[in-house]
């Protein structure tokens, strides 16, 4: 925890900002997988693309990990900044690969990745579930 002093007109308060260690940053892809697995399970009926923004991934990770809401972004400025930068790097990596795949227990997931939009540094990617029959149509990476 990092000690941060906040000066306001009425009062002086001290709060502690969580520290981002390399092991904590390494767990961000697990949060992305959970978001994608939930979305894939919900959209099994209709085969649509899943849109996820780097900022929403960062917000979800911070909320799950430290129970800090996005509305508290000003107070935890450094935390949100570091996590958002890391999420953008993870998204750029998956965009360059063009796919994301993993095996969970008995299920295997394969998703194509495309850039949907980028607004002021917030990278929005589309993830498309791909069946084993259509895997050959993806470009190799």
Its pTM stands at 0.83
Phi, psi (5° rounding) for residue 68?
-110, 125
pLDDT, position 2: 59
pLDDT, position 109: 87
pLDDT, position 42: 82
Per-residue pLDDT in tens (0 to 9) along the chain, 141 residues: 656 655 554 555 677 889 999 999 999 999 999 999 998 888 776 668 899 999 999 999 999 999 999 999 999 999 999 999 999 999 999 999 999 999 988 888 899 999 999 999 999 999 998 877 765 555 555
For residues 29 and 33, give the distance between their C-alpha atoms in angstroms, rounded to a whole number.
6
The radius of gyration computed from the CA coordinates of the chain, to the nearest angstrom, equals 18
Question: What residues have CB less than 8 Å from 36, skipping those under 6 apart?
Answer: 50, 52, 100, 109, 111, 127
For residues 68 and 44, give the distance between their C-alpha atoms in angstroms, rounded to a whole number.
31
For residues 32 and 54, give the distance between their C-alpha atoms in angstroms, rounded to a whole number.
10
DSSP state of 137: G
DSSP state of 46: S
């Amino acid at each position: 925890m990092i000690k941060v002093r906040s000066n306001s007109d009425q009062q002086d308060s001290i709060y502690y900002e969580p520290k981002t260690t390399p092991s904590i940053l390494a767990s961000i892809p697990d949060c992305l997988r959970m978001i994608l697995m939930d979305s894939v399970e919900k959209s099994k009926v209709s085969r649509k693309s899943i849109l996820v923004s780097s900022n929403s991934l960062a917000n979800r990770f911070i909320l799950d990990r430290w129970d800090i809401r996005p509305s508290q972004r000003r107070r935890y400025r450094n935390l949100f900044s570091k996590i958002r930068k890391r999420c953008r790097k993870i998204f750029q990596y998956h965009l360059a690969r063009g796919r994301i795949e993993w095996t969970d227990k008995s299920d295997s997931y394969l998703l194509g990745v495309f850039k949907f939009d980028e607004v002021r540094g917030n990278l929005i990617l589309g993830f498309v579930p791909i069946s084993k029959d259509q895997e050959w149509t993806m470009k190799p990476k």
